[in-house]
Structure 1
């Protein structure tokens, strides 16, 4: 049996695990294993996984949705300014996106994380986003994993931003199966019509988050997601049954300018930073508790 086949037997036995926060405590034995990684072998596995996904029908639909959403978002921006657009040698305008990826998980030991990394690389290629313009971070990355990400050409962040990254140009945020607090923090940091119009998210469906939560607690603990549900446009992304633990409940989320214009100015100005003191199931590694 191939390595991929053996890995998927393990993945199926862990069904449901990837839906939980991937940034969890890692044992010292596991860290030691990661530091002794065979870099060449892992890079080959990542590239093999990428080649496998490219042959899947659902990938074409992901690619189409990314290009359509990015095109619509940037076309709307270009009506007012070309600050985020560049022209090639022939004078044609082409789209410029950057990317931020949080919470990828330990892709050296977790099959789901490795598939999600492969998908990220494919999306960057499809969106013509230079590898160095994609910043990645997870508190549980080992030094060997960080080296591999740099070898791939990605930019590895050194600080735990807790998702609080302000979009100053059109940005794709790739947050696969991350905790709600990470999404909530991201929305808070970009809580203005100008900033949200620059944000595109590939991650968990906001609508599904709300449907699976107790309404009162959801509004209280994750108020920015709660409000964003009615502001955003979600397009569900397909997921084949054999990859249900990897890509389930994923959507591409954008914020149409027309929706943002309908919000009273007071909603933007009264935007306190999220506090999670009373949240007992916080799915995020905060700066003061990172490993």
Structure 2
């Protein structure tokens, strides 16, 4: 059964202890749920974003918000523009018009490393680990922009506590791990940068059912400890079970949005992504 920690309203416990360095410290985050909406501005906001691949328009006046303390799921079919949305957030694709704001400040014109240093972590599709490097080396790559060696070492220990399976594989080459194990390494690597927000692109794609459950439970646990999550996910049912809010993207346009619980009960979602009877169906 998937944990629904993120919706319980429990106050988050800090993922990082005291002594964190200023540039990479995660701020205090309000409890998930309605309280999170009291923030002056969203943590992440896309406003009227229009983007193109050559002559082809990929997004049409895209509006998306992620509030502090939230898990937000972006759903949609193939070629709907989900992964392209992630590229815009991470600075890999520049929109033709519109705004992208992180913590109230525009990120347009910043490089991907600069955006990551602002406090956005990335768990890309297919994980993109360094296969010949050990798990430990891959995790430390997530802290490449940090100079606080002692805090990095402490965070590494915290990651091994949060991801015990990763701890068991710490000396193995990353390329020898299973898909589920690699996904956990990718998540832990992103957390090593002490982000306020993690962007996850298809975190359960290609995983066995056992690891799908484990990964989604870990996402809920990470969120409960104060990290916001913006997630593109192929499994609408499971994604909405752990999310606070959801958006449905269709050919570059938001056609439906609302609280995750309401979307789960929406017949349009059931028909399009859950087979009309609540059974999960892929929407990659």
TM-score, normalised relative to structure 2: 0.28
TM-score, normalised relative to structure 1: 0.28
> Greater Rg, structure 1 or structure 2?
1
Q: Which has the higher helix share?
A: 1
Q: Tell me: higher relative CO, structure 1 or 2? Use CA pairs within 8 A at least 6 residues apart.
A: 2
Q: Which has the higher strand share?
A: 2
